[in-house]
Amino acid sequence: MKRTILVAGGGGFIGGHLAKELLKDPNNHVRVVDIKPQDQWYFVHEGAENRVGDLANMDVAQASCEGVHDVYNLAADMGGMGFIENNKALCMLTVLINTNLLVAARDHGIEKYFYASSACVYNADKQRDPNVTALKEEDAYPAMPEDGYGWEKLFSERMCRHFREDFGLHTRVARFHNVYGPYGTWEGGREKAPAAVCRKVIQAKTSGDHKIEIWGDGKQTRSFMYIDDCVYGILKIMNSDIIEPINLGSDELVTINGLVDIVEDIADIKLQRDYNLSAPKGVNGRNSDNTMIQRELGWAPGIRLRDGMQRTYDWIYEEYTAKYPTAVKA
Ligand code: NAD
Ligand code: GDD
């Protein structure tokens, strides 16, 4: 018998890539549910059962879990700093999705439940210095997460824990650190720094206006995980015995200026940098401590930033020039 797998939020970036990977196994029946109209999904996989529905609605959550063995919950109303700093209430309303899906998963006797949490759950005090000490799983407490989005993630993590303790639901929780790659959002306000920087460099290159606006002073640090590492890690964690929330992120720390250097190098261009100090900035420094994932799985995300950014840049370049052909100077 086929294993029926629900990918909640599978019209989005990570869920779309994950569904593609799950479909490679002929024993899987993959059900994708997303609130967006299908013409806005990043992927519509032919082999999947594709449904449009609002998982913040309990009836939709219950119907989505019908006959399902495993749930991967990647549905959320989120984005990069530009979105989460200005939409805290919307980010927190995502709690309805996780609440409904956990209840529906319990009611339908789901075998395993994966929850996509975030590095935004970590205590802000541990992220004040750009020369950040990489974040260990225990650094989420005492709790002082990112306002709005981070609080919702931390609360939903705990709901997973209590559904495991009280109802015996087998939950797995990964804290993703900034994920990038092809088929991610690259314009419109929800894009994160890797895609935003690619778009801005392409814009400058194709228009001939050799300037770039960078949010903050460019000295803030992050680590960025390529999508292939993310999908591989999700599946490894889901199929492991790791019941506590675990980091899933790269530990290759880079400044935002360093990220721009990489993209300039890929595009073979040098731009004048304008720093916007009033733009959304988030924490000063964030990195993933991968001691736990190395210990538990003997693996950690390892795709080099330069390599992942080359593939991301190439994809965004194609998208950008197809969408804005007149912007490209001869
Ligand atoms: P995404 O925005 O591309 O995908 C999320 C999908 O959820 C979207 O397609 C959206 O339409 C869908 N969705 C939103 N509300 C819904 C609802 N009510 N019902 C059904 N579907 C709904 O984002 P992503 O980058 O693929 O992120 C996936 C998950 O990983 C999210 O939970 C996110 O918070 C988490 N995460 C992502 C990152 C990252 O860097 N991308 C980092 C940390 C955590
Ligand atoms: N988005 C964006 N766009 N960020 C920029 C830009 C730009 O044009 N220029 C500079 N930055 C800076 C931001 O100011 C921030 O300091 C840094 O780049 C990283 O921004 P994002 O990629 O937007 O977000 P983040 O790393 O602070 O948080 C993201 O990752 C978390 C997990 O680690 C968000 O996507 C969260 O939702 C996610 O949970």
Whether 18 shows a pLDDT value over 80: the answer reads yes
Cα(277)–Cα(274) distance, integer angstroms? 9
Whether 330 shows a pLDDT value over 60: the answer reads no
Choose the residue to mutate in 13, 41, 59, 153 for probing ligand 1, maximizing ligand atoms within 8 Å of C-beta.
13
Strand duo 253-255 + 221-223: pairing = antiparallel
8: β partners = 33, 73
- Across the chain, mean pLDDT equals 97
Choose the residue to mutate in 74, 97, 283 for probing ligand 1, maximizing ligand atoms within 8 Å of C-beta.
74
Considering the chain, tell me which residue range(s) the CATH 3.40.50.720 domain(s) occupy: 3-179+225-248
Residue 327: band (very low, low, confident or very high) from pLDDT cuts 50, 70, 90: confident
Residues 124 and 144 sit within 8 Å (Cβ to Cβ):
yes
Question: For residue 329, what pLDDT is reported?
Answer: 61
pLDDT more than 70, % of the chain: 99
Question: For residue 1, what pLDDT is reported?
Answer: 85
Considering the chain, tell me which residue range(s) the CATH 3.90.25.10 domain(s) occupy: 182-223+252-286+304-325
Q: pLDDT tens digit string along 166-183?
A: 999 999 999 999 999 999
- Whether ligand 1 lies within 6 angstroms of the CB of 15 is answered as yes
Residues 71 and 110 sit within 8 Å (Cβ to Cβ):
yes
Q: pLDDT tens digit string along 107-160?
A: 999 999 999 999 999 999 999 999 999 999 999 999 999 999 999 999 999 999
Tell me the ligand closest to 41's alpha carbon: 1
Whole-number Cα distances in Å, 237 to 65, 90, 156: 21, 28, 18
Q: Which residue has the tokens 């880079």?
A: 254
Those residues with Cβ within 8 angstroms of residue 115's Cβ, 6 or more apart along the chain or in another chain: 73, 98, 156, 157, 160, 171, 172, 173, 174
Residue located nearest, by CA, to atom 14 of ligand 2: 281
Question: For residue 24, what pLDDT is reported?
Answer: 98
Cα(164)–Cα(241) distance, integer angstroms? 13
Told to judge if 317 belongs to the known catalytic residues of this protein, a careful annotator would answer no
Q: pLDDT tens digit string along 224-243?
A: 999 999 999 999 999 999 99
User: So what's the architecture of 3-179+225-248 in CATH?
Assistant: 3-Layer(aba) Sandwich (3.40)
Whether 207 shows a pLDDT value over 60: the answer reads yes
Those residues with Cβ within 8 angstroms of residue 202's Cβ, 6 or more apart along the chain or in another chain: 267, 313, 316, 317, 320, 321
Pocket of ligand 2 (CB under 6 A): 78, 80-82, 84, 118-120, 149, 176-178, 191-193, 196, 214-216, 220, 222, 256, 279-282
> Residue 180 Cα, ligand 2 centroid: separation in angstroms?
11
Rounded to two decimals, the pTM is 0.98
Fold of 182-223+252-286+304-325: UDP-galactose 4-epimerase; domain 1 (3.90.25)
Residues 179 and 225 sit within 8 Å (Cβ to Cβ):
yes
51: β partners = 33
Q: What average pLDDT does the segment 70-96 reach?
A: 97
- Whether ligand 1 lies within 6 angstroms of the CB of 31 is answered as no
